[in-house]
Amino acid sequence: MINFAICDDEKAIGAQLEQTVSQYLNHLNIKHDIDVVFSPEELEHQMQNGIHYDFIFLDIEYFTSELNGVDFARIIREVYHNNQASIVFISRETKYALELFDVQPLNFLIKPLEKEKVHKVIDKYLTLAGLRTKDFTYKKGRSILKVPFKDILYIESAGRKLFLHLVSGKEEEFYGSLKEIYENQLQKYDFLFIHASYVVNYDHLAALSFNTAKLSKGGLVLPISKYRQEAVRLAYQDILKRRMM
pLDDT score at 124? 85
Name the pairing type of β-strands 143-148 and 135-140. Answer: antiparallel
Residues 19 and 107 in one domain: yes
Neighbours of 217 (CB within 10 A): 15
Q: Are residues 123 and 142 in the same domain?
A: no
How many other C-beta atoms are found inside a 10 Å radius of the C-beta of residue 160?
9
Do 111 and 17 share a structural domain? yes
How many distinct structural domains can be found in the chain? 2
Q: 96 with 114, same domain?
A: yes
Spatial contact of 228 and 195, defined as CB atoms under 8 Å apart: yes
Domain end position, chosen among 128, 144, 164: 128
pLDDT per residue of the chain (245 residues) written in tens, 0 to 9: 999 999 999 999 999 999 999 998 887 778 899 999 999 999 999 999 989 999 999 999 898 888 889 999 999 998 888 888 999 999 887 766 556 666 888 888 999 999 989 998 998 888 778 776 678 999 888 888 999 898 999 999 998 999 999 999 999 999 999 999 999 889 888 899 999 999 999 989 988 998 999 998 888 999 999 999 999 999 998 887 766 55
Q: 3-class SS at 134?
A: coil
Q: Give bridge partners of residue 3 from the DSSP assignment.
A: 33
Q: What are the residues facing 156 on neighbouring strands?
A: 163, 198
SS3 at position 132: coil
Q: What confidence score (pLDDT) does residue 180 get?
A: 93
CATH number of 120's domain = 3.40.50.2300
Decide: 45 and 143 in contact? Cβ < 8 Å. no
DSSP type of residue 149:
G
Res 2: pLDDT: 93
- For 104, the domain range is 2-128
Determine the pLDDT at residue 243: 63
User: Where does a domain end: 128, 149, 165?
Assistant: 128
- In this predicted structure, what is the pLDDT of residue 158? 93
Are both 119 and 146 inside the same structural domain?
no
